[in-house]
Amino acid sequence: NEAEFENGKISVNLMTFKAVGKVGILFRYKDINNHYGLLFDYSDKANNVKLYKKTEGSLNIVKAKFLDIVEAT
């Protein structure tokens, strides 16, 4: 049986350590070489949020942009 999905919203609270500087979310995960991901990269000052698609091991950036990421207090 195939699951049916519709467009929707997801809300998450992410926490990273400044020493690492990256955190991400994987979705539509089939295996390590086939999935989508949303990467938050604090070290990239121009495009710190990237949506990517990995197909058969090949990673392609779907969209990249800068978002003002606020640190939790």
The pTM of this model reads 0.70
pLDDT at residue 5, as a whole number:
67
* Residue 27 contacts residue 35 (beta carbons within 8 Å): yes
Least confident of 1-5, 9-13, 68-72: 1-5
Burial class (CB in 10 A: 0-12, 13-18, 19+), 59: exposed
Q: What would the pLDDT profile of 9-59 be if each residue is shown by its tens digit?
A: 777 777 766 656 788 899 889 999 999 999 988 788 788 889 999 999 999
CA distances from 53 to 17, 18, 23, 28, 38 (A): 25, 25, 16, 10, 9
The bridge status of strand 34-41 relative to strand 49-55 is antiparallel
pLDDT of residue 18: 63
Which pLDDT value is given to residue 60? 96
